Amino acid sequence: MQPYEMSLARAAEEIRRRRLSPVELVDSVLERLERVEPQLAAYVTVTADRARESARAAERAVAGGRPHGPLHGVPMGLKDLIDVAGTATTASSRVRAGHRANRDSTVAARLTAAGAVLVGKTQTHEFAYGLTTPQTRNAWDPDRVAGGSSGGSAVAVAAGAATFALGTDTGGSIRVPSALNGVVGLKPTYGLVPRLGVTSLAWSLDHVGPITRTVEDAGLVLAALVGHDPRNPAGPAADARPDRRPADEADLTGLRVGVPVNHYFERVDPEVERAVRRAVEKLEALGARPVEVEIPMTRYIQATQWGLMVPEATAYHERSLRATPELYGADVRILLEAGELMSAGDYLRAQRARTLMRQEWARMLADVDVIAAPTVPLTAVRAGQESVTWPDGTVESVSDAYVRLSAPANITGVPSLSLPVGRDREGLPIGMQLLGRPRAEAVLLRVGHAYETVGPARETVVPEREMVVPARESAPVA
């Protein structure tokens, strides 16, 4: 196994035992990045010199016997919404061309303090306002979409061009690309991870979270991100810093798994449904007890999601939209201009619907420990495809299809973990999401980790043979 292929937990153990140096690990990831980046375009900027310097510092710390944690010397990618002092934060948009952050975001500072090594800033759908990240290619099939908006982060992790990455999630933007690229994505409880220094799409829906190759890795990264921050009123108290690492045992005896009887299995590709139901059966074999649940207020989900997101995004972009509208991509500009047409009454009705939905979800989650459902209703579509036609004749836009099953966790703020549970007949990854009560990330990680012990064997890094496409211009090196 090459160092770039290692999970975070495996790499950390090798570094701890001094069988692998941070320099070897970072060099391996950078070499892999250089090979695959022309085909995949996962990065906006590659900070190779900075990464090698940080790796050398991490290696000196290991040699000196100074304490270090599981992220020490481990290469990471950060979505290009996340500020790092002295590094460009462009949000993959011409609007932000030349913008450089003058201070670290809270999450970047915490990961750096934990010893993680930045190898670059990853591509996002412009200002995170989309579900495909069109400039980036899917790691398993370069003719297909990467998913968005954290497409660059998911592709980098899937391809071995980062050991882990951070993404943001406003309507599914961590979980959708994670599902489409066969990696693990965690959207934490709203407010659990601080967002100071992270470019916003819609502030009442935005979340920051990890994208990794295993559930255990997601827990390790989350542990470094979580902690009290007086500037984050929605975050944990000063004395609350629970262990987010999943338990090693795979016994789920007594755990109640909610299986939706509506919404989540409606208008879903049969291969996706079969894979997710098989995954639930594996959880049942580990001792979990399936419980049928009815998802409340389903007819209001997408209207509430768009009713909150569109006006909030437009408010954030109000000045630049009026000053330089021509610098926005057409798809994003149309959505921002649409937000100017929404009334205060529309927005307040969406807020009211969200409040009612949160209350109903709390009642539903009181009867189960987790809910298991598809992350997205179909696998990665071909680049440029704008709609999908379902067997019942319903025509749905690709964006609506991808956001339909992920949006409830953003509206209600509950945590959601996406993990791979197989591949379809074309070899494309299928994802299952686990949803739970607020601040119950440890339960989701426990269940996800248990599934990984019995789930289908899978590659943790996409083989290069899957990436044979014409080369594209790679990210600039900073």
Q: Which residues contact residue 5 at a Cβ distance below 8 angstroms, ignoring those fewer than 6 apart?
A: 160, 460, 461
Question: What single-letter amino acid sits at 340?
Answer: E
Report the C-alpha gap between 23 and 27 in whole angstroms: 6
* 79 tagged catalytic: yes
* 173 tagged catalytic: yes
Q: Which residues contact residue 7 at a Cβ distance below 8 angstroms, ignoring those fewer than 6 apart?
A: 163, 212, 213, 214, 216, 217, 460
DSSP code per residue over 355-368: HHHHHHHHHHHTT-
Coil/strand/helix, residue 307: helix
Alpha helices in 317-371 (DSSP H): 318-323, 330-339, 344-365
Helices (runs of H) and strands (runs of E) counted in the chain: 15, 13
b/e sequence 23-40, b meaning 16+ C-beta within 10 Å = bbbbbbbbebbebbbebb
Report the C-alpha gap between 123 and 120 in whole angstroms: 10
Q: Which residues contact residue 4 at a Cβ distance below 8 angstroms, ignoring those fewer than 6 apart?
A: 25, 28, 29, 31, 32, 160, 161, 163, 461
Q: Which residues contact residue 309 at a Cβ distance below 8 angstroms, ignoring those fewer than 6 apart?
A: 170, 171, 201, 202, 205
Catalytic residue among 7, 79, 187, 418: 79
* CA-angle at 435, arms to 375 and 200, nearest 5°: 75
Report whether 250 contacts 450 (CB < 8 A).
Answer: yes
* 418 tagged catalytic: no
Catalytic residue among 93, 173, 200, 399: 173
Report the C-alpha gap between 355 and 413 in whole angstroms: 11
Q: Which residues contact residue 439 at a Cβ distance below 8 angstroms, ignoring those fewer than 6 apart?
A: 189, 192, 236, 415
**244-249 contacts at long range (C-beta below 8 A, 24 or more positions apart):** 244/219, 244/220, 244/441, 244/442, 244/445, 245/216, 245/219, 245/220, 245/445, 246/215, 246/216, 246/219, 246/442, 246/445, 246/446, 246/448, 246/449, 246/450, 247/446, 247/449, 248/449, 249/450
Q: Which residues contact residue 63 at a Cβ distance below 8 angstroms, ignoring those fewer than 6 apart?
A: none
Catalytic residue among 21, 92, 93, 149: 149
User: What residues are labeled active site?
Assistant: 79, 149, 173
